[in-house]
Each structure stands twice: as structure tokens, then as C-alpha cells.
Amino acid sequence: MTAPAVVTAPSVATSRPAPRRSVASWLLFGAIAVYLLLPMLAVMLYAFATVWQARILPDGYTFDHFATVFTEPRIVAAIARSLVLSFVVTLLDIVIVLPAAYWSRVRNKRIRPLIEVGAAIPFVLPFLVIAFGIDRLVGMVTPSFQNTIWILILGQAAVAFPFLYWSVDGAMSAAGIERLSEAAETCGARPRQIVWRIVIPSIRVGIVTGSILVFATTFGEFSLAQVLVGAGFETLPLWQADALLQTTGRFNDLAATTILSFGLLVVLAAVLVWWGRGQTAQAVPGGGVRVGGR
């Protein structure tokens, strides 16, 4: 029997049943790293390539494609729309999810199962199906709202809210928000003071994490934008899809926009992993880590 390591922090680094760093595990991690990084590298090179048709690497490099992206009105508008949409949706979700999550903990436990049913829907149901349903419903009930940006905002807020809810609710549970509120109340704090001085500061990490997930989901989402508004409100993914299917040689511009949204994603993911310190994946007990367009 190999000498048992001192059991200090469980499940970290004591690593008995794990195979030692065998050749097989290096191969596995190496292969997966190549598989994950190669497409990123290819897009990156295309974003800077002049001509690239015959050799392993591009013939030359240039910043022209980024200049195109930032000057062509249609692309600039699409980027702006996506940013504004994601921002508004994130704000809306914060405003409606926080009070509901808080109230379900301190005042009325019966709210919770209702929110959880709601959160399960976008977790498993394809966004395309949800978008289809929304479009039909709006067409039946309030046709004048069909194909407006308002429906897109509401639909996006609905499919993205679980990310915020899960991370805020987790933060509230970790902070013991019920006891904190009660203590503040006992000390004579007014409701407004409780919310701004106690509740929000103690769940700040949860709010930031959840907001990032909502923002990223909305920014990359294609199906809701296509079904609910379509060409009337061309977001960046809609423009990209159009450019891709037209195959009019906009390869490099596509690469540049992909790098832009990808850069945004990387920054957001870095913040996520940093704030979560490696615990981003709270996925098992009903939560989830699902971002990005489907």
C-alpha cells in the first residue's frame, strides 16, 4: 500500500485513486487542448490575414478587417444593437429577479417553487421552441407587439433570468440572508437600509456573476433574435449568420467580429472564474453553467 497522504483538505490534491500523471492522461489533456484551441487560433489568424488560400499560414497580416468592422455602418449598428440589448436585458433581470429572490427567502416561501419551475423551462427547453411559442402567443394576443424589440427584450430576459436567479439565490444562502436581515431589523434598521447596506453588499459576487452570465447569453443568442424580430433588428449574430450564408467572401470580417465577441466572452469568463475561484461550476444541485447562443 502506498503511504496515505495526510488527509487535510478533502478532495484536493490527496489524489489517491487518480492515476498518476500517466502518458495517457497527458495525451488526453493535450488532445483536448489542441481541439479547443485550434479553432480559436484559426479565427484569430483569419481576423488578421491578408491573403490565405494556399499555405499553412497567411501570406501577410493586417488590421484592415477591424477597420472595416468599425467603419461599415451595418456592422457597427449590429454590434451596437447587441450591446444595448444585452445591457437592457441584464438590467431588467436584475430589477425583477433580486426582489423576488429576496422575498422568497425572508417573507414568503411559496414563491420559491414557482420561480424554480420557471427557471427549469429555459434550462431544458430549446430557445428556438420558446421563441416560437412567444411569437405565436404575441400574434394571438397583442399582434401590434409582434416583431418589436420589446418582445425580444422580454423574451431574452425570460430565458436568461435563471442564471441570475441561481447565482443570486446561492449567494443569499451562503450569506445567510434571513439571519442578516433579522439582525439588522432587530438593530432598528429601516427597510431601505437593510436592502442597500446589508443585502446587496453581502450578495455582490452573486449579482456580478449572474449578470455576466445573462449578458453573455443575450449577446450571443441567435434563435430568439431571428424568430422574434428578424431583419427588423439585426443583432451581431444575425449579421454574422447572414454574412456566413451569403458566402460573399466576407470571411475576414466575420473573423474580426467573431474575435470581438470572443474577446468579450474571454474577459467575462476570466472575471467569472476569478470571482468564483474555480467554483464556477455549481451545476449539480439544480443549477447550471450554460451561456452563449444555442
Partner 1 sequence: MTSLSPTHVTTEVGVPPRPRPGAATLRTIVGDWLPAVPLLALVATMLLAPALLLVVGSFTGTQGELTLDNWVKVINRRGDQTAIVTSITLAATVATLAALIGAPIAWLLSRMRSVGRLAWLALLTVAGNFGGIGLGFAYFSTLGGVGMVTLALQSLGLPFDPPRGASFNGLVLVFLYTNVPLYVLLVLPGMGALRDDWWEAAQVASATRAQFWRRVGIPVLLPFLAAGWLLVFTWSIGIYGLAYALAGAGAASGVQLMTLRIGSILQSDITETWRANVLAVMLMLFAVVSLLAYRAMLRRGLRWWR
Residue 71 beta carbon to partner 1: minimum distance, rounded to whole angstroms: 21
Choose between 80 and 281: whose C-beta lies nearer to partner 1.
281
What is the grid cell recorded at 239?
449579421
Q: Is residue 174 involved in binding partner 1 (CB under 8 A)?
A: no
Segment interacting with partner 1, rule: CB under 8 A, options 72-80, 83-91, 166-174, 251-259: 251-259
Q: Please tell me the distance from the alpha carbon of residue 134 to that of residue 27, in angstroms, as a whole number.
A: 47
Choose between 72 and 106: whose C-beta lies nearer to partner 1.
106
Residue 123 beta carbon to partner 1: minimum distance, rounded to whole angstroms: 8
Segment interacting with partner 1, rule: CB under 8 A, options 64-72, 83-91, 200-208, 259-267: 259-267
Contact 220, 260 (CB under 8 A): no
Residue 244 beta carbon to partner 1: minimum distance, rounded to whole angstroms: 6
Taking CB under 8 A as the criterion, the residue among 149, 195, 207, 208 binding partner 1 is 195
User: Interior CA angle at 165 toward 152 and 168, to 5°?
Assistant: 135
Question: In the window 128-157, what residues touch partner 1 (CB under 8 A)?
Answer: 128-130, 132-137, 140, 154-155, 157
Taking CB under 8 A as the criterion, the residue among 68, 146, 202, 226 binding partner 1 is 226
Q: Cα dist. 165→101, 126, 140, 207 in Å?
A: 7, 19, 30, 9
Segment interacting with partner 1, rule: CB under 8 A, options 25-33, 60-68, 71-79, 167-175: 25-33
Q: Residue 217's closest CA among 244, 237, 203?
A: 237
Contact 118, 185 (CB under 8 A): no
- The Cβ of residue 201 has, within 10 Å, a number of other Cβ atoms equal to 9
Classify the phi-psi angles of 230: left when phi > 0, otherwise alpha if psi is within -120 to 50, otherwise beta: left
Q: Is residue 205 involved in binding partner 1 (CB under 8 A)?
A: no
Residues 6+ apart with CB under 8 A from 179: none
Q: Is residue 77 involved in binding partner 1 (CB under 8 A)?
A: no
Residue 63 beta carbon to partner 1: minimum distance, rounded to whole angstroms: 18
Choose between 203 and 291: whose C-beta lies nearer to partner 1.
291
